[in-house]
Structure 1
């Protein structure tokens, strides 16, 4: 079996299992709220709040975060619009619990953004790393449970987010000169 067929089989099996859970509709209700945490407003709010009120790393956290998202967002858009993988709700016989904001699913932008934020929190405030990564995983899972992403979309988003954050973190010595 080719790698693409294996990934597709995994995605379909996992996706169908998630959406076939006995309380999928109730889970989707909670997933909607979790997914909204990944829309970006919370990240901006926390970044600006830290920049204003946290003296040690707050401003640097905001600058590195803005740089990381400046890396992540264009890459996400290029990948999504080059690969053009249909969303599960557009290629499988079921209706998603939400209306997605765009047409394609790979990679997950919510997951990419959530993992950028989690990696930044883990770097600057390691005591909150477990909470931030659990939240990032929950945001990614919520997108599958809402029927708008396959599991590998989430995995690709996580890799994109972590890579973008790692690149921005590696450039901290240069960004520190701006503070």
Structure 2
């Protein structure tokens, strides 16, 4: 068994382990709500609110954020449609996800990428909110595994993509 096969086997075991604990009604309900936080519109709403409430730092946060998301989204789509990893709920092993995903492929997680963009921006512009931002981003990513639409490595890849896009977006924003 090569390294990629070993990684996929580990990933599948971790996925089923998490889902073994996540099938209770309270976990499913909270996972659905947490996952919705990562849908994207909340990030824009919070960015605009910060720009209005705190014109100097908030506007910088919003501008850097728009730059970061403008980098993250096409990279996410390129990776997802190039790698084309099937979602765990689309395999023929009888597993049923708690939600219907918006598309067929799972790698990387767009919810995790967007959540980690936002968390990284918070860490840069509002350091006192960094821990809260990263905890929420991790919860958004974890909720996607619990709902049965992503493997753990999808979340990890999304987190790395999101943090990288945010750091690049911040750097580009600062350069101009």
Q: TM-score, normalised by structure 2?
A: 0.96
Q: How does 1:48-87 map to 2 (within 5 A)?
A: 48-87=48-87
RMSD after superposition: 1.2
SS at match of 1:107: coil
* Whole-angstrom CA distance in 1 between matches of 2:151 and 2:21: 16
For the pair 1:106 / 2:107, whether they are aligned, the reply is yes
Confirm whether residue 95 of structure 1 aligns to residue 96 of structure 2: yes
Q: Which residue of 1 aligns with 2:3?
A: 3
Partner of 2:164: 163
Provide runs of 4+ in structure 1 moved above 3 Å: 22-25
| TM-fit CA distance, 1:23 | 4.8
Once the 2 structures are TM-superposed, how far is the Cα of residue 124 of structure 1 from its aligned partner?
0.1
Tell which deviates more after alignment, 164-173 or 111-120.
Answer: 164-173
Gaps of 5+ in 1: none
2:68 & 2:14 partners in 1: Cα distance?
30
Q: Which segment drifts farther, 103-112 or 23-32?
A: 23-32
User: Tell me, which stretches of 5 or more residues in structure 2 are unaligned?
Assistant: none
User: When the two structures are superposed, what TM-score results if normalisation uses the length of structure 1?
Assistant: 0.94
The answer on 1:34 being equivalent to 2:30 is no
Residue 152, structure 1, aligned to residue 153, structure 2: yes
Q: Deviations over 1:100-128 (max 9, x none)?
A: 01110000000000000000000000000
Q: Which residue in the other structure is 1:131 paired with?
A: 132
Partners of 1:23 and 1:75 in 2: how far apart? Answer: 32
Question: How far does residue 8 in structure 1 lie from its aligned partner after superposition?
Answer: 0.6
- Aligned partners of 2:86 and 2:105 also within 8 Å: yes
SS in 2 for 1:98: coil
Alignment: residue pair count: 175
